[in-house]
Structure 1
């Protein structure tokens, strides 16, 4: 009865884990349910409010509400057809600079598309002020003592027809008192714009100006911000990347100024980053994040006021990164002096292990040109490195099986004194030089590899939209074919914990086959629980990235092959396992017979 009670309890607990998985994660690591409360608006360029309940952010980010998507298309077409723009045409970025305000507010990423469809449009990162997806960068000045400076409504004059890596563009504007303000934009092959802002003073008296730079964006396009992957305000201060603030924090505080000198500051999504990078020099800017109201936020740099003498020009340079978080590109910018830009990818505490897994997987991918095959090769390498450990594990299991008669005798001798029985068993382990935990070592070694691959699949844009074969078009996303909707034939999407796909079913089968090859547990209830484990894991793992399931399936198949090989090397272990299984079957049959007998009156 006690064993049956334990079995029932185990089944109930597994059911609670299965059904409550999503709810538990949502409770302990909640997603933003809505948008942060807005403070009083301090910027006229605020995105329009959307009607209806806020949409839940996705891993990709972008507008989710259909009304916002439709309005964005309409507003974008109107804004971009109004004229007063200088085209941007570079290998990494395309778009335009708005001569009204001299702002960069129209950028798309050439190398990345919105969906896996080859005809899908490129990802849009920047949108003009006032559109539902507004996101732009502004560089300018504040005038001291009433000095007129350009603002968001100023119409600049362009010198140069198109911004390309070979042709910079300069925007100029002159005020009535003799000061000329210039913004020189240059762009590289990837995602970096260099902005030189200068003031030339032709007046007979000195002019005092305060340079600033700002990234302005709405949080309606944010990607998921979870306990493991940060989306929102980000920056590097005194050489340390700060992930501690999110949009809700800034909205509640109104303004947050992180401690330390800013190496760079901006906003991140899982795959995209916009950041201002001040040049190294004596004058270091103040940096902060601000809530501007109506779901709009700003990341600011503000330099000390500078006095421009008559006949002199004062200038300074900063860089603007606006693009995809491609690791190789970010590391190249680090080599050019941008502090820890590659750590805008939220590797977490274990990046020392995750980045080598990424480098290896990326190298395999470039070699075989198929990311799924690269995952399989990575699994082969990992299992190959752990094969000597597996050999020692099986040797330990063989020794443990050989000790079973002695252990059983000890348990019978001290059946009324469990503490003494445990001491005698530990003494037996020591005398026979057997480590009962040796069999767990391969599992513990696989855990960091599994977690690192999980982070790589979730974080790195290099894995985004990478296909494998047949229906697996994106290994960074869950299996799209669900059993409960007949693989997409029925018009509904099952909840995450019931969205069982083909890969999840294969995972369950391979885990079951793997457990069948393992030596049977001595406790029948424990054996029954282990028999249910593969099918429980099938449900738990179904919502995870397809690439992660592919890794686990491959690992299971290799483990099965490895177990068969090692059983051939340790025939005594296989024979003992078969004998144990027969004993368990007989014990279970006797228990069933006793339970079925009617009680005597």
Structure 2
């Protein structure tokens, strides 16, 4: 292989590395597209096409009277219906039949055993209102006062507590011949089913459209890390779309006075809602039915809202109409989400933010989850996963390590060439290339395994950062949460001194190195000793400092990721050491090849 081909290979590899790093740190901004023209709200409160009339949470259609803005806070004495399941505890306010109090039984805010349960949904009138509403939007001659709204008081007609075994039924009579019923059921995890019926006892046909919505008042606190999406997430006929909270305030389409909205017509399958890092609330219309997927922001009330509007129905006198919708409100557990997808919720597994390398993050997490099921510990599962990845990459690594062993042996000859050529860099390159060609050494052969490690590393970082299964997952001893940094610190001699260490928000936290980051630096240093040092002094100095720079940089990363890197470095060092010995080289533990043990004497340089 001539020098030009070698340079081409090296340049291609480095270019690929730069592109990967660029996309990791500067991902393209997610664009939410509107493939269909937005529906126009007509005078009768319905919408053109398949889009139903807007829910009364925002404002009525022109010429109709209805509550403006957000629903009022439910009175303190408003009756409530308890929710009790193995996974959820909460209640439904009969004022509007809002599902607005929900605690996750299996998750706490911190590692402390007496820490508060994670609070997912909260009622209007309290801090951070976050709730789900269902109802009917009026059409034709009906007004918003003729259909149940967000402040309608419902009556409990069947059931006392909502459990997986006991659904509940609510009723409301508008006093004008329309009787509404709502049956709410729930499974043992996080899926609510809402069946709505309306009986028309009037003398004329009526027209209305069912809807479901999830609303948040005020912008919620988010992790705010660029690799994680928090905000609107929706699936529209197989296309996943994400909208950040700050992008919702800039929607161009003015739906009604004081509100901005984007409307997409979904032909058959989809869902829409809000996702946090680990939790989610999502409206899921029946599979195979069209609906309008709406992202909405109300300026004056600072309400962030997602809606699923189903097609309007015409109900003849004496007839009844029924509709159903589901609400997922809970934790984004991989097995649970996957089971719901298998039951017909298209693309639901993509509600977990797998990132740009989804083709790697999905199988990596699947294997990690399987290993955790066998081993029962995520930390040891990460180590075993690292062994498996290294085994898959071993054929490439073998060639790379053999080449690096040869490069390591040629190091003295390379130093002699450098001394002989002095400052003549062109002569230096020519002499080096001649030596590589004579000894059949390819200096770029070590790039491919490194390049393959980069997307794997990023993917594992994504898995550890976003998946719920790593949250509060212990390993050994002091590592009680693999999704958090190592809590030990060199500043207090790893707990021997009675001093608190800086918090992660402090600029001094970077100096609060734990045991795992220190082990990472040592493992990187040992691995580096087996590799040939650059001939350029500046490059050699940079490489010498890299293990310790990374030790400080990654000190604040999740313990699970640092554990992976330590395991990877240790396995790499072992593989490389054994391969060098198998080729006749005898390096010591610091990678120095001892005299008298070299496979063959390198050719003399002319």
Residue 352 in structure 1 maps to residue 351 in structure 2: no
Secondary structure (helix, strand or coil) at the match of 1:96 reads strand
Could you say if the C-alpha distance between residues 270 and 42 of structure 1 is closer, same or farther in structure 2, counting changes exceeding 3 Å?
A: farther
Please give the alpha-carbon distance, in whole angstroms, between the structure 1 residues aligned to 2:435 and 2:489. Answer: 51
Deviation digits for residues 408-435 of structure 1 (CA, Å, limit 9, x no counterpart): 7877887776457646754664565432
Q: Corresponding residue for 1:242?
A: 241
Tell me what 2:63 maps to.
none
Any idea what SS the aligned residue of 1:386 has? helix
Q: Distance in 2 between matches of 1:27 and 1:325?
A: 24
Which residue does 2:387 correspond to in 1?
A: 380
Q: How does 1:459-474 map to 2 (within 5 A)?
A: 459-474=466-481
SS in 2 for 1:252: coil
Listed as ranges, the matches of 1:380-529 within 5 Å are: 380-401=387-408, 418-419=425-426, 422=429, 425-426=432-433, 429=436, 433-484=440-491, 487=495, 489-490=499-500, 492-493=502-503, 494-495=506-507, 496-529=509-542
Alpha-carbon distance between aligned partners in 2 of 1:279 and 1:396, rounded to the nearest angstrom:
59
* Runs (5+) with no aligned partner, structure 2: 1-23, 30-57, 60-66, 252-258, 596-606
Aligned-partner SS, 2:460 = helix
Indicate conservation of the 8 Å contact 2:173/2:179, yes or no: yes
1:17 corresponds to: none
CA 1:467–1:119: 2 relative to 1, 3 Å? same
Match of 1:44 among 27, 50, 70: 70
Q: CA deviation at 1:526?
A: 3.0
TM-score, structure 1 as length reference: 0.78
1:571-582 matched pairs, under 5 angstroms: 571-572=584-585, 574=587, 577-578=592-593
Distance 2:558 2:440 in 1: 42
TM-score, length of structure 2 as denominator length: 0.78
Q: Conserved in 1, the CA contact under 8 Å of 2:577 and 2:587?
A: no
Show the counterpart of 2:564.
Answer: 551
Check the 8 A contact 1:222/1:232 in 2, yes or no. Answer: no
Alpha carbons 1:126, 1:136 under 8 Å: kept: yes
Pairing partner for 1:273 from 271, 280, 289? 280
- Structure 1 residues 560-584: Cα deviation after superposition (integer angstroms, max 9, x where no partner): 333332332234474995479xxxx
DSSP-derived class of the 1:509 partner: helix
Q: CA deviation at 1:401?
A: 4.9
- Residue 509 of structure 1: how far off its partner (Å): 2.0
Measured after TM superposition, the shift of residue 404 of structure 1 is 5.9
How far did 1:337 drift? 1.4
Q: Residues of 1 paired with 2:72 and 2:203: CA distance?
A: 39
Q: Does the 8 Å contact 2:195/2:324 carry over to 1?
A: yes
Which deviates further from its counterpart, 552-561 or 345-354? 552-561
| 1:314 to 2:324 alignment | no
How far is the alpha carbon of 1:171 from its aligned partner? 0.8
Structure 1 gaps of 5+ residues are: 1-23, 30-38, 48-78, 581-601
CA contact (8 A) 1:520 1:577 kept: no
Q: Find the residue that maps to 2:485 and give its secondary structure.
A: coil
Conserved in 1, the CA contact under 8 Å of 2:502 and 2:512? no
| Contact 2:291 2:308 (8 Å CA) reproduced | no
How far apart are residue 551 of structure 1 and its match? 1.2
Are 1:124 and 2:119 counterparts?
Answer: yes
Q: Take 1:573 and 1:492, find their aligned partners in 2: how far apart are those partners?
A: 45
Match of 1:257 in 2: 262
Could you tell me how far 1:522 is from its partner in structure 2? 3.0
**What is the SS of the residue equivalent to 1:132?**
coil
Equivalents in 2 of 1:492, 1:409: separation in Å?
Answer: 49
Aligned residues: 516
Corresponding residue number in structure 2 for 1:216 = 215
Per-residue deviation, 1:247: 1.0
* Residue in structure 1 matching 2:96, options 87, 98, 101: 101
- Kept after mapping to 2: 8 A contact 1:197/1:316: yes
Q: Secondary structure at the match of 1:100?
A: coil
User: How far has the Cα of 1:465 moved from its partner?
Assistant: 0.4
SS at match of 1:538: helix
Any idea what the Cα deviations from partners look like across 1:26-82, whole Å, max 9, x if unmatched?
9999xxxxxxxxx999523489xxxxxxxxxxxxxxxxxxxxxxxxxxxxxxx7973
Q: Which residue of 2 aligns with 1:114?
A: 109
Residues 282, 505 of structure 1: CA spacing in aligned structure 2 closer, same or farther, 3 A cutoff? closer
How has the CA–CA distance of structure 1 residues 536 and 562 changed in structure 2, closer, same or farther, with 3 Å as cutoff?
Answer: same
2:369 is the counterpart of 1:362:
yes
1:92 aligns with 2:102: no
Q: 1:497 to 1:416 in 2, by over 3 A?
A: closer
Call closer, same or farther: CA 1:219–1:471 in 2, change over 3 Å.
farther
Structure 1 residue 535, shift from structure 2 partner = 1.1
Aligned CA-pair RMSD:
3.2
